[in-house]
Chains A and B, each alone.
Chain A
């Protein structure tokens, strides 16, 4: 299983391999944040917005070019340990980035998984049962999708308050509408084939039709879609956190970290860009892998 994945990766184009690399790095951060981080998640270690490794050069010349060297001004315990500098409260940015990877990615994963569970189950049910079940779910989804996702989420959060469980359920429900649409469409395609009709005529039960006949043939597009939905959810959560409505402080979360440090940008302190770029990299990585997978799946389908 793993070796065949590695073989596939070796054959993949450079963009997909880059994607896998990015995902691997983030998985490492995800798994070993406490071991890798030099400081605690919420530990204050120095001054506000101290620069990182790029400010090691504090010579007269550098100072005249760049202005004051921050780590010289505040003799703190940073001592070059804070590679990425400190944030708006003087916490180590690198440590917060590592813990943030954990928090931001895991919540997006949970939401995507939940959304797929709901969307796929309903989509497959609608496609195999037809009739009123299909009508009921499809029309409900139509109405839900006629509603802008962000606005829906904002309204619910303003009434219910921002707590993590509410966040997870609301976004997963909203996102599952898209999963429903896709899995219903793909399943309908498969459901119309004669081999499903054969199984139906044989008298097979609904669960056999759904999970044995249809599911295996819908996997490639659905797996690719999982990647794309994850990207969407990840960006969505980041946006909510950025607006101050997502994960609440002091939890390290990339979106919130952008918001907290954004004020300094106009002064030329670009700390906020670090988590923002991290969000972009994860999304690019997953997008590239999903893109590659989708192409591969499309190519495979011609063979049948």
Chain B
């Protein structure tokens, strides 16, 4: 095998908070012809920066300060712009995380596909478009002959991502850089794109760098895996060997996150009902209903997981419960009493008892308030506590979320993502609530941090007896924390029951698809899945759309 790309002692700096600091510190990496290299790590690992550095490119605010990047015969760090342009898009191409953002909204897909081959003088316009249609056909895109004439906004997310993979192959490159190409997609859509990527790499026999934070995903495509942390290599090795016997603790920790689950202690007996939603139908403005005849029951001290993909209406249900979206029909009973539909009609005491935690801790904390102000306000607002008593209570809350009191005077911008989410939890606890609605509270966090947060929530429930309505798209989380599961699809509840009932067959068709889509560490998982009946269905495209069509 011949060496295609060699990086030696690569150091890249980024400009942050008025100083240059290292994002990548001394990474060695090589890729051979026809080989797929998986780069894995949490946010801040520098994996994406390394990926595009292989094209001799740095994002604004970054600079390569040391090391060499040898691609073929070219030293990319020394090459002129003209030389780099001849390589980018021709010999190395790039697949970005979000196709919706990375396609120019002003031009048709096929035009953008043909841009690189035509502008680089490799093909004529007709040849390039012919090749494009051929690729669309090979990747099973619907209407391969005409889909290229559409604009990006006229194509679904998964299809767009596949069209971008096709675009990356327009010049038959030697190396493709995949930068988290499935992260922004729903689980069932992820399969269709993963299958396309795998096919693309296999068919063209091109080499690839595959960047992701999900070990199970990278296990499906990579020949070798490199684990990165804080810009340094943790360990590197052939996929199967690394997954079977990781050498480093960090890798083991990453592996255990995926294998994890089942930490939940089953609850002993039926409790009294806390929340009872009956026949709720709701819509935004005069639009189509986002919720249709939804029923849900939550027992005091328990956790109900609300599972669904984007557009399933799970967050809208949270808004109905909090009073932000008054339902058109149906009723909600909270602790035996009817909840007024509108937020403005509810008693202060009711508001106190239902709290909410959000997906993005970054925007859930007022950046101009210090931690003690954020936590102190609800204490003062609901209980009229002031002075020393208030300070004591805030300190107690910090203790509950396992943060020291140094954090009292910090602004949110001085906290890490996990710490911010802890403060959000403390703010919810400050009101001594009966019910906390957790809306995708772990999806924006790194896996190891997310695991800690789940543990914390679990401990708090055991100690305080608070109930959770846990909204998520991630079935691994569901397995870890739920007592009961409600599966939603296009605004309707398709299945509900205890965790055991829902997770053991027979399933509703959609639940089956959802469960089958969760990647496993086994490198053969995807290949095996695609051979099954469920896999064939997933291959066809967005499961949620197709299924809801059947239901109508």
Q: Do A and B touch (CB < 8 Å)?
A: yes
Interface residues of A (CB under 8 A from B): 193-195, 197-198, 200-204, 213, 216-217, 303-304
**Distance between A302 CB and nearest chain B CB, rounded to angstroms:** 9
**Distance between A33 CB and nearest chain B CB, rounded to angstroms:** 39
CB-CB < 8 A to A304: which residues of B?
A: 362, 367, 412-413
**How many chain B residues have a CB neighbour from A under 8 Å?**
28
User: Does A194 lie within 8 Å of B358, measured CB to CB?
Assistant: yes
Give the distance in Å from the alpha carbon of A197 to the alpha carbon of B324 in the complex. 9
What are the nearest 10 A-B pairs in CB distance? A216-B368, A194-B364, A195-B366, A194-B358, A193-B363, A203-B351, A304-B367, A203-B348, A194-B363, A303-B413
Q: Does B381 contact A (CB under 8 A)?
A: yes
Which listed residue, A195, A216, A303, touches B17 by the CB 8 Å rule?
Answer: A303
CB-CB < 8 A to B368: which residues of A?
A: 216-217
Q: Does B212 contact A (CB under 8 A)?
A: no
Give the distance in Å from the alpha carbon of A197 to the alpha carbon of B360 in the complex. 13
Which listed residue, B17, B351, B377, touches A201 by the CB 8 Å rule?
Answer: B351
Give the distance in Å from the alpha carbon of A195 to the alpha carbon of B368 in the complex. 11
User: Does B366 lie within 8 Å of A201, measured CB to CB?
Assistant: no
Interface residues of B (CB under 8 A from A): 17, 322-324, 343, 346, 348, 351, 354-356, 358, 360, 362-368, 377-378, 381-382, 412-413, 427, 431
User: Does B366 lie within 8 Å of A202, measured CB to CB?
Assistant: no
Give the distance in Å from the alpha carbon of A213 to the alpha carbon of B323 in the complex. 20
User: Does B351 lie within 8 Å of A202, measured CB to CB?
Assistant: yes
In the complex where A203-B348, A203-B351, A303-B413 touch, is A198 in contact with B356 (Cβ < 8 A)? yes
User: Does B381 lie within 8 Å of A201, measured CB to CB?
Assistant: no
User: Does B364 lie within 8 Å of A201, measured CB to CB?
Assistant: no
**Distance between B63 CB and nearest chain A CB, rounded to angstroms:** 18
Q: List 14 A-B contacts (CB under 8 A).
A: A194-B360, A195-B364, A195-B365, A197-B324, A198-B356, A198-B427, A202-B378, A202-B381, A203-B346, A203-B348, A203-B351, A203-B381, A217-B367, A304-B362
**Distance between A221 CB and nearest chain B CB, rounded to angstroms:** 14
**Distance between A227 CB and nearest chain B CB, rounded to angstroms:** 21
CB-CB < 8 A to B381: which residues of A?
A: 202-204
Give the distance in Å from the alpha carbon of A190 to the alpha carbon of B360 in the complex. 14
Q: Which of B324, B343, B348, B377 lies at the interface centre, i.e. has the most chain A CB atoms within 10 A of its CB?
A: B377
**Distance between B23 CB and nearest chain A CB, rounded to angstroms:** 16
CB-CB < 8 A to B17: which residues of A?
A: 303
CB-CB < 8 A to A200: which residues of B?
A: 324, 343
Give the distance in Å from the alpha carbon of A303 to the alpha carbon of B381 in the complex. 30
CB-CB < 8 A to B346: which residues of A?
A: 203
User: Does B427 lie within 8 Å of A201, measured CB to CB?
Assistant: no
Give the distance in Å from the alpha carbon of A197 to the alpha carbon of B381 in the complex. 16
**Distance between B504 CB and nearest chain A CB, rounded to angstroms:** 36
CB-CB < 8 A to B360: which residues of A?
A: 194
Judged by DSSP, the binding face of A is helix
Give the distance in Å from the alpha carbon of A213 to the alpha carbon of B363 in the complex. 12
Of chain B, the residue at the smallest CB distance from A201 is B322
CB-CB < 8 A to A195: which residues of B?
A: 363-366
CB-CB < 8 A to B431: which residues of A?
A: 202
Give the distance in Å from the alpha carbon of A198 to the alpha carbon of B375 in the complex. 12
CB-CB < 8 A to A303: which residues of B?
A: 17, 413
**Distance between A154 CB and nearest chain B CB, rounded to angstroms:** 41
**Distance between B441 CB and nearest chain A CB, rounded to angstroms:** 12
Give the distance in Å from the alpha carbon of A303 to the alpha carbon of B414 in the complex. 10
Give the distance in Å from the alpha carbon of A193 to the alpha carbon of B424 in the complex. 14
Of chain B, the residue at the smallest CB distance from A200 is B343
Give the distance in Å from the alpha carbon of A195 to the alpha carbon of B346 in the complex. 20
User: Does B364 lie within 8 Å of A198, measured CB to CB?
Assistant: yes
User: Does A201 lie within 8 Å of B367, measured CB to CB?
Assistant: no
CB-CB < 8 A to B366: which residues of A?
A: 195, 213, 216-217
**Distance between B169 CB and nearest chain A CB, rounded to angstroms:** 34
CB-CB < 8 A to A201: which residues of B?
A: 322-324, 343, 351, 354-356
Give the distance in Å from the alpha carbon of A237 to the alpha carbon of B323 in the complex. 49
CB-CB < 8 A to B358: which residues of A?
A: 194
CB-CB < 8 A to B355: which residues of A?
A: 201
Give the distance in Å from the alpha carbon of A244 to the alpha carbon of B365 in the complex. 53
CB-CB < 8 A to A203: which residues of B?
A: 346, 348, 351, 381
CB-CB < 8 A to B343: which residues of A?
A: 200-201
Of chain A, the residue at the smallest CB distance from B349 is A203
Give the distance in Å from the alpha carbon of A204 to the alpha carbon of B377 in the complex. 10
Give the distance in Å from the alpha carbon of A194 to the alpha carbon of B358 in the complex. 7
**Distance between A231 CB and nearest chain B CB, rounded to angstroms:** 28
Give the distance in Å from the alpha carbon of A204 to the alpha carbon of B382 in the complex. 10
Of chain B, the residue at the smallest CB distance from A192 is B363
Q: Which of B362, B366, B377 lies at the interface centre, i.e. has the most chain A CB atoms within 10 A of its CB?
A: B366
Give the distance in Å from the alpha carbon of A297 to the alpha carbon of B333 in the complex. 46
Give the distance in Å from the alpha carbon of A303 to the alpha carbon of B61 in the complex. 14
Give the distance in Å from the alpha carbon of A204 to the alpha carbon of B367 in the complex. 18
Q: Which of A202, A204, A213 lies at the interface centre, i.e. has the most chain B CB atoms within 10 A of its CB?
A: A202
CB-CB < 8 A to B364: which residues of A?
A: 193-195, 198
Of chain A, the residue at the smallest CB distance from B348 is A203
Give the distance in Å from the alpha carbon of A217 to the alpha carbon of B412 in the complex. 13
Give the distance in Å from the alpha carbon of A201 to the alpha carbon of B381 in the complex. 12
**Distance between B120 CB and nearest chain A CB, rounded to angstroms:** 34
**Distance between A162 CB and nearest chain B CB, rounded to angstroms:** 44
Give the distance in Å from the alpha carbon of A195 to the alpha carbon of B348 in the complex. 18
Give the distance in Å from the alpha carbon of A194 to the alpha carbon of B357 in the complex. 9
Give the distance in Å from the alpha carbon of A195 to the alpha carbon of B377 in the complex. 12
**Distance between B289 CB and nearest chain A CB, rounded to angstroms:** 21
**Distance between A186 CB and nearest chain B CB, rounded to angstroms:** 14
Give the distance in Å from the alpha carbon of A217 to the alpha carbon of B363 in the complex. 12
Give the distance in Å from the alpha carbon of A203 to the alpha carbon of B431 in the complex. 12
Give the distance in Å from the alpha carbon of A198 to the alpha carbon of B412 in the complex. 15
CB-CB < 8 A to B412: which residues of A?
A: 304
CB-CB < 8 A to A216: which residues of B?
A: 366, 368
Q: Which of B17, B322, B323, B367 lies at the interface centre, i.e. has the most chain A CB atoms within 10 A of its CB?
A: B367
Of chain B, the residue at the smallest CB distance from A213 is B366
New A-B pairs, 17, CB < 8 Å, besides A194-B364, A216-B368: A194-B363, A197-B324, A198-B356, A198-B364, A201-B343, A201-B356, A202-B351, A202-B381, A202-B382, A202-B431, A203-B348, A203-B381, A217-B367, A217-B368, A303-B17, A304-B367, A304-B412
Give the distance in Å from the alpha carbon of A72 to the alpha carbon of B360 in the complex. 78
**Distance between A192 CB and nearest chain B CB, rounded to angstroms:** 9
CB-CB < 8 A to B378: which residues of A?
A: 202
**Distance between B322 CB and nearest chain A CB, rounded to angstroms:** 6
**Distance between A263 CB and nearest chain B CB, rounded to angstroms:** 54
**Distance between A9 CB and nearest chain B CB, rounded to angstroms:** 16
CB-CB < 8 A to A194: which residues of B?
A: 358, 360, 363-364
CB-CB < 8 A to B413: which residues of A?
A: 303-304
**Distance between B419 CB and nearest chain A CB, rounded to angstroms:** 15
Of chain A, the residue at the smallest CB distance from B430 is A202
**Distance between A116 CB and nearest chain B CB, rounded to angstroms:** 20
CB-CB < 8 A to A217: which residues of B?
A: 366-368
Of chain A, the residue at the smallest CB distance from B362 is A304
Give the distance in Å from the alpha carbon of A217 to the alpha carbon of B378 in the complex. 20
**Distance between A63 CB and nearest chain B CB, rounded to angstroms:** 60
CB-CB < 8 A to B363: which residues of A?
A: 193-195
CB-CB < 8 A to B367: which residues of A?
A: 217, 304
**Distance between A25 CB and nearest chain B CB, rounded to angstroms:** 30
Give the distance in Å from the alpha carbon of A278 to the alpha carbon of B405 in the complex. 55
CB-CB < 8 A to A197: which residues of B?
A: 324, 356
**Distance between A184 CB and nearest chain B CB, rounded to angstroms:** 20
